[in-house]
Structure 1
C-alpha cells in the first residue's frame, strides 16, 4: 500500500488534545512531491525536508521563524516541533493522517480543503 502525503494537512489533535490556533490561522503542514515540507506550527512558520519509507516518516532539519506569541499557540508549536523531530509511524485513513512517535506522542491531521488558502 502506497501512502501519499502530498498536499496540505491541518492539525486536528495533538496528543489527544485540540491544538490552539495561532495568530495566522490553524496549524498546518504541506508536503510537496519534491521532499519539502512547510507550514505554520502555531506562531512560527516551519520548513524542512521529508522522506517516507516503509510507513516511517523522517523529517530533515526543520527551520523556523523565531516569533514569540501567546502561551497556548506557543505550547502547541513546541509540542508539534518536538514530535516532528522524531521518526514517525504514518497511517492514512481516508482524509486523516496520523503521526505516532515511539514515545507515544501523536498528531492527527485532516486533509485541508484545497479551496481554503492557509498562510
Structure 2
C-alpha cells in the first residue's frame, strides 16, 4: 500500500453512507505514515493509531499468513458490488488492512457528526478488506459495507 503512504485520504462514504457537503472540518480523513502510524480526524475529534497491511498472496507478518475472515472469527464479506473481483485489474492492490488501538480527543459535535465519527471509529476497530484502485482507497468491513476514501488536495497532505 505504498500508494497511500504520506498522503491524506478523505472519506467520501462511510459504511455505505455517502458523506454530505457539510463543513470541511467535519469530513473524516486519515493520513498514513511509512512508519506504521495513522492519524487524522473522525470528523469531530483528532485520532491517532497504527496500521498494517497484509497483501493478498503475501504476508505483512513474516511469522505467518495474513488472517482470513475465518481466522478473524467473522463471516466472509459480502460481494461489495465489484470492489473485490476474483481477478483484480492490473495495478490493483488488495489485502487486509488492520488498525491498532486508536486514541482520540474528546470534543463534542452535532449528533450527526458524532454518529459519522462513531461509524469511522467502528470501521477502524476491526480488520477490513482494502483495495487501492482507480485512485481510490476502498475499505470493506466484515458485514460487506463499503467505505471510500479519495486523496485530499496536496495542500492537505503531509
Please indicate the TM-score interval, normalised by the length of the shorter structure.
Answer: 0.7 to 0.9
Q: Which 4+ stretches in 1 moved above 6 angstroms?
A: none
Greater percentage in strand: 1
Aligned residues: 116
Maintained 8 Å contact 2:136/2:149: yes
Which residue pairs with 1:42 in the alignment? Answer: 43
- Which has the higher mean CA deviation after the structures are superposed, 13-22 or 71-80? 13-22
SS of the residue aligned with 1:79?
Answer: helix
Which residue pairs with 2:107 in the alignment? Answer: 67
1:93: Cα distance to partner?
1.1
1:84 aligns with 2:124: yes
Structure with greater Cα Rg: 2
Considering Cα pairs closer than 8 Å and 6+ residues apart, tell me whether 1 or 2 has the greater RCO.
Answer: 2
Q: Distance in 2 between matches of 1:3 and 1:56?
A: 14
Q: CA RMSD in A?
A: 1.8
Q: Distance in 2 between matches of 1:68 and 1:23?
A: 17
Unaligned runs of 5+ in 2: 56-94
Query: Normalising by the residue count of structure 2, what TM-score does the alignment of the two structures yield?
Result: 0.67
